[in-house]
Amino acid sequence: MSEKKVYVEEPLQEVLLEGRWQWSSGAATFRSHNASTGEPFCDEFPISTWADCDKALNAAQRAAVALRQVPPETTAFFLDLYADKLEENSTMLCNMACYETALWFTPRLALAELPRTADQLGQAAAAVRDGSWKMATIDKKLNIRSMLAPLGPVLIFGPNNFPFAFNAVSGGDFAAAIAAGNPVIAKAHPLHPITSINLASLAHDSAKVAGFPLEAVQMLYELSPADGLRMAGDPRLAAIAFTGSRAAGLALKAAAEKTGRLFYGEMSSVNPVVILPGAMDERREQISKEFVNSSLAGVGQFCTNPGLLLLPAGEPAEAFIAAVARGFQQDPPGVLFSAGVRDGLVNNVQAMVDAGAAVVTGGQAVEGPGNHFQNTLLRVSAQHFLSHADVLQREAFGNAALAVVAQSPQEMAAVLETLEGNLTGCIYSHTGGADDAAYDLLAPVLRQRVGRFLNDKMPTGVAVSPAMQHGGPYPAASHPHFTAVGIPASLRRFTRLDCYDNVRPHRLPEELRDKNPTGAMWRNVDGAWTQEDA
């Protein structure tokens, strides 16, 4: 088969399996669509059968063995080269992603998301070269040594809302799994297969140039639900990384854990924003604008979109709600990713209305080309919320938010205590300390229910920082200890702890020998972190 350099329209696209582009075993196909118009592109993408999955799993097992012999510099070179190719092909990639998602070419894709994706690949390469993330630990007295080591084949499910930064074949999970020494089977999202085939082509070309095992990067476009669940529980797989809906995530989680596969999922979050009375009096207009901008960014299709607003009752709160409603009305509804996203938003908003929430503005789908839903603000009293918390805290993925009005800080605390786990949570308070008593009451409650806790800042942006936590208590994520963003912490999801007891020095991994292999790697030697030889 000829190798793909960039995407071109063909009757049927190939899958990336066993280190080469080849025809899929699947006869069924699907098409990509222009998200702004709903018009399909003429090319077709295969829906793989179990035969493709079986090939991918066998190849990933072979790649896992091959990767054990790959020098760190080769892996780092591959990641750096791939990052360079993303930047060199930025215009082509962003054009395709713009068509498939309706996200703005600039600033969203070309100036923010694609550079971020290249940067996190570069950060992963730097972590590989440094090696400190492996947490090598040496007990010289007992001659016991341990370090984090590759886990094995990782299956990554990419989401619909980040065609680059969370794409299964380029995003943070991909960078982390590869940097940790694992082969990746990427399950592309069916809403942007053209973007994904371009990314996979660049990754494949980079691997060839770097001398990186070609079977370590594979990609399928779509599977039947039954084959996806079967694959998640296959013993040849080590772990699954998933970003997407709660229903799909929980099904994959059950299938994986039934056979002992590790599952790292990001699944659901309403990201509560609490505004205290002093902050409301001090800078109500500023905060209302920040909330509108954060809620409608990307048409609300961010996993950190603030979907629940908790306010103190009174005239300032009424003025705040009115200001947010005006902001929602003045901003034309953006294009949603798909009819499925629109229909899910319709259903979830209606469920909250049926549970007693009042529509302040919006609440309806918009007819016309593409998929639109009115910018929607709902409201409910805290007392009513407490009686229907299971429905009223459901994630309405898209441009919709619920305002909850409480009579006292104690009622606010009661609302927070009913919340499930979330990715983020924020409290706005008076800069002069007028809200300190209420803050001291609410902060400990909210802190237990979120992965990333913010003050006086909307949660939409997620920085690629070593200190970042992009995860949280269930069901925001499947495990509160791990993050999908932030290197080196994100690498540790895809590792196991290998221990060597009384193993002869020449048989040890280089990282655990007395001599520091790089001179810069941090290792714990007899209880102290050091860069010196042991």
HEC-encoded secondary structure of 362-430: CCCEECCCCCEECCEEEEEEHHHHHHCHHHHCCCCCCCEEEEEEECCHHHHHHHHHHCCCEEEEEEECC
Report the share of the chain in percent with pLDDT over 70. Answer: 98
pLDDT of residue 251: 96
pLDDT of residue 43: 85
pLDDT of residue 12: 81
CA distance 392 to 418: 11
pLDDT of residue 10: 59
266 is catalytic: yes
Q: Which of 98, 303, 411, 420 is catalytic?
A: 303
- Decide the pairing of beta strands 308-312 and 29-30: unpaired
**pLDDT, average across residues 255-267:** 96
Residue 101 CB neighbours (<10 A): 27
On the question of pLDDT at 377 being above 70, the answer is yes
Which residues, in sequence order, are CB contacts of 379 under 8 Å at separation 6+?
321, 357, 358, 360, 402, 403, 404, 405
What stretch of H or E contains 144? strand 144-150
What are the chain's domains?
Answer: 39-131+149-266+483-490 (3.40.605.10), 273-455 (3.40.309.10)
**pLDDT, average across residues 34-41:** 91
Q: pLDDT band at 5, cuts 50/70/90?
A: very low
303 is catalytic: yes
Which residues, in sequence order, are CB contacts of 171 under 8 Å at separation 6+?
117, 120, 156, 158, 162, 164, 165
Q: Which of 100, 222, 266, 420 is catalytic?
A: 266
Q: pLDDT band at 73, cuts 50/70/90?
A: very high
**pLDDT, average across residues 119-143:** 97
Degrees, nearest 5: CA angle 285-286-292 = 90
**Which DSSP string do the residues of 263-309 spell out, in sequence order?**
EEEE------EEE-HHHHHHHHHHHHHHHHHHHHGGGG-STT---EE
pTM value is 0.95
On the question of pLDDT at 357 being above 70, the answer is yes
Short-list 409, 45, 50, 42, CA closest to 197: 45
CA distance 430 to 142: 56
**pLDDT, average across residues 375-401:** 97
On the question of pLDDT at 1 being above 70, the answer is no
**For residues 76 and 125, is the Cβ–Cβ distance under 8 A?**
yes
